[in-house]
Structure 1
Amino acid sequence: MDDIAVLGKKGYSLRNTLGEGSYSKVKCAYCDRLKCKVAVKIINKMKTPADFWERFLPREIEALRCLQHPSIIKTYEIFETSAGKVYIVMELGENGDLLDYIKITGAMREDFARMKFQQLASAIKHCHDSNFAHRDLKCENILLDGGLNIKLTDFGFSKLLSRDENGKMILSNTFCGSAAYAAPEVLQGIPCDPRISDIWSLGIILYIMVYALMPFDDSNIRKMIFFQKQHRIPFPSTQHLTVECKDLINHLLQPNVSQRLCTDEVLKHAWLQTPNSTVESPLSAPEEGECSHNPREGKPKQKHKAKSTDLIACFTKNSNRRHRTSAEVNK
């Protein structure tokens, strides 16, 4: 029985394809019961490796069933057929994903970025408080509904955190996700608390929101890690951010995991508390840990200074380099 017939029996009228991944496809459908459009993720067991079917898919389903939050995509129904297909019926992100939105509209105004980032950080706090780490935070996995509200999705790499017999957190040393968003400790294969690594990814996302640029070029992983560990974050002079916004980015993209913020600290940060922030003068000196040059204008003054990377060019060039292992770092 094909997808149209299977979903038709459940009251869903299948429509266009929204996207396709390595092991699944997502289609739009109309739900007779809900009287609205929904997204249906269809996974074919026959086309997926055993590791995905036995490990990653159960994790995703468990996360979708456990995590209920206004800024996390809502799951309406999950069912499997005898033919080996799993159907996950979810809330539809009517305005697509955050990356496509930024490609079209450019960098967000800071007050708008503040509202969207607060929604995202709140969703991640809910995940972490529920002992889940997302482990694949990126703009493509953040959908926007009809009101441009954040809807976090794609929990395929999520992990339910566990503790040993002494109550100590069992660290993760598995690389998953996208190199451009991954924390340096993840890229280096250093055992870490994946919640702290999620925070780094939040920093990359916030940077993209306000600059429509990538802070680091991942075409050379070893060089990227060098710049990340130097804590030299490029802040282009073309966009005059408030001191508070830059400070939050600096704390999120902190290479020292012991100094990186947790979700509670992120949500209590001054930038998220008030819109009355101070805009830094374009002539003021760069703060510690940042560089103020425009990467499109001449050479940086410092010898080792990271460059921002054009967002569209980066993702066009890197579209086939999503999943890399820490072994690349040592090449």
Structure 2
Amino acid sequence: MGTPKYPKVVGYELIAEIGGGGFSTVYRAVNIEEHRVAACKLVKLTEETTDKDRKNVEKEMRVHAALKQVHVLEFLNAVVVELKHKLLYVPGIYMLLEFAGGGDLFDKIAADVGVDDEVAQVYFNQLVAGMSYIHSQGVCHRDLKPENILLDAAGTLKISDFGLSAVFRLKDSGKTRMLSEKCGSLPYVAPELNSDHPYHAEPIDVWGVGVILYTLLVGNTPWDEPTASSPEFVRYVNGTIFLERPWNRIPFEPLSLVKGMLTVDPTQRLTLDDIAAHPWCMRQSQLSKHGPAELASRLTRPIHDNGDMNFSAPPTLGGSGDMDVEDDDTIMHSATNHLSQFTQSLMLFSQTQSGARYTPYLTRFYAALGPGLLTGLIKEALEAMNVKTKLLPPAVTSDGGGELHRIRVGGWDKRRQMFKGWVEVERFTYRGAEGSFCVMRRDEGNPISWRQLWRAVIESQLVEPHVLKK
């Protein structure tokens, strides 16, 4: 008997792992006959899975499936493979979701820089429109944070991950209830969750929206937790932090909005209706009149300016014929619906040994050193930064073209948030000599912290001499 395989999920085959979290793994899934792509979130079922665990996932699916709006990642379908089939298939709950071809919004944002005022306004208004719809359906998200904000292939914002969501208002009767469960990630949770009292649903999502706007504007979260044990939060409450960077570089209008959403007293906090009527949100957007390519260009301008894209984009190898560039049909076939003005402008197609490949992570680089040697140096560099590493046996690349060297990594960022991910290194011929293509793929944690880790790796004494720059 062979090893259990993944089932087809309503015509979709699970192709490659693209992310995950504490309790699930996300795969890219392709319906080859229809040339369609989706994401498949797998929550594995084991002998240890409790009835409560299953009920939580079923609640997530029920809530998410009912939400249909342009800024909510669409829930497409689901299948369950029970434990009794474990000899044939991997048991689990398979949720088929819309594929966010543009990747993480915050993967494209420069740490401690953020995006310009117009880009922030476009994406913030989309977030508010999505959250207003979610609340209109009586649902509270409760886990708003950068890693749950995705982009589709056209650059449209999508709110994802309803694992901690709760119904606070019944649509039929309009009856509302207070919530009491403590959940969310400390840098993003509202201060009222620190008490043992029940809390109103809508204000805690407004707080999360406020933290996201701050992060868009400055490229970092405002504090590690909204309690007296955080010096930054204490200075925020007493008002002294507004004289410091980066607070003092936020323009007056968006700053007034951030302060209104991050009002400690939930009864005084802005509502989503207040936010939508704020002058900064009401201002006519010039950027929205332009196409997706211009939006992509403006979004990534800071990581061009700080040099990050000199590493992420394919290296200039000089002369012709150093790289095999596939034709548009081949790229389209391999990408399956990811090719767009937006994703092309973001450079989400990497040059690999077998041609152009869709790679939705800008935390990547090329090196003039073979995969075996480079992997060892990266592992050593990460361990010097107190990152936990585990070297895995080489696997086959997603296109079957060669060997993939892999390191599993994990640790804690400056905001005391756990991160987990992969370093994946494969062979790449550079000017006729052996080189490597490396992707650092985050599973869990803040995308901006992950970008800082990626930059630290390529600037480390061990790795930097071998890194190719544009």
Which bin holds the TM-score, normalised by the shorter protein? Answer: 0.7 to 0.9
Instruction: Tell me which structure has the larger Cα radius of gyration.
Output: 2
Question: Of the candidates 220, 245, 249, which is equivalent to residue 258 of structure 2?
Answer: 249
Equivalent residue for 1:297? none
Equivalent residue for 2:417? 318
Summarize the Cα distance change of 1:35–1:269 in structure 2 as closer, same or farther, 3 Å threshold.
same
Question: Of the candidates 139, 143, 152, which is equivalent to residue 136 of structure 1?
Answer: 143
Equivalent residue for 1:17? 17
Residue by residue over 1:253-295, the C-alpha shift from the partner in whole angstroms, topping out at 9 and shown as x without a partner, is 011111111111111111111158xxxxxxxxxxxxxxxxxxx
Equivalent residue for 1:29? 29
Q: Match for 1:246: what amino acid? A: L
Aligned counterparts of 1:269 and 1:115: Cα–Cα separation in 2: 14
Asked if the contact 1:231/1:253 (under 8 Å) is kept, the reply is no
Equivalent residue for 2:245? 236
Asked if the contact 1:133/1:158 (under 8 Å) is kept, the reply is yes
Equivalent residue for 2:131? 124
Aligned counterparts of 1:75 and 1:275: Cα–Cα separation in 2: 32
Summarize the Cα distance change of 1:231–1:199 in structure 2 as closer, same or farther, 3 Å threshold.
farther
Q: Match for 2:189: what amino acid? A: A
Residue by residue over 1:74-100, the C-alpha shift from the partner in whole angstroms, topping out at 9 and shown as x without a partner, is 111112123352111111112322332
Q: Does the residue aligned with 1:157 lie in a helix, a strand or coil?
A: coil
Q: Match for 1:222: what amino acid? A: A
Aligned counterparts of 2:221 and 2:106: Cα–Cα separation in 1: 11
Q: CA deviation at 1:130?
A: 0.5
Q: Match for 1:205: what amino acid? A: I
Asked if the contact 2:44/2:93 (under 8 Å) is kept, the reply is yes
Q: CA deviation at 1:170?
A: 2.1
Percent of paired sites with the same residue: 24
Asked if the contact 1:78/1:88 (under 8 Å) is kept, the reply is yes
Aligned counterparts of 2:239 and 2:135: Cα–Cα separation in 1: 25
Aligned counterparts of 1:45 and 1:259: Cα–Cα separation in 2: 44
Aligned counterparts of 1:2 and 1:36: Cα–Cα separation in 2: 27
Greater strand content: 2
Summarize the Cα distance change of 1:257–1:3 in structure 2 as closer, same or farther, 3 Å threshold.
farther
Asked if the contact 1:174/1:189 (under 8 Å) is kept, the reply is no
1:90 aligns with 2:86: no
Equivalent residue for 1:189? 196
Equivalent residue for 2:66? 66
Q: Does the residue aligned with 2:42 lie in a helix, a strand or coil?
A: strand
Q: Match for 2:44: what amino acid? A: N
Aligned counterparts of 2:234 and 2:246: Cα–Cα separation in 1: 23
Which structure 2 residue ranges, 5 or more long, are not aligned? Answer: 84-90, 286-411, 421-443, 446-470
Asked if the contact 1:30/1:38 (under 8 Å) is kept, the reply is yes
Asked if the contact 1:23/1:43 (under 8 Å) is kept, the reply is yes
Superposed CA RMSD in Å reads 3.1
Summarize the Cα distance change of 1:33–1:257 in structure 2 as closer, same or farther, 3 Å threshold.
farther
Question: Of the candidates 261, 272, 283, which is equivalent to residue 263 of structure 1?
Answer: 272
Aligned counterparts of 1:33 and 1:105: Cα–Cα separation in 2: 44
TM-score by length of 1: 0.76
Q: Match for 1:60: what amino acid? A: E
Aligned counterparts of 1:174 and 1:203: Cα–Cα separation in 2: 21
Equivalent residue for 2:57? 57
Q: CA deviation at 1:32?
A: 3.4
Which structure 1 residue ranges, 5 or more long, are not aligned? Answer: 277-311, 324-331
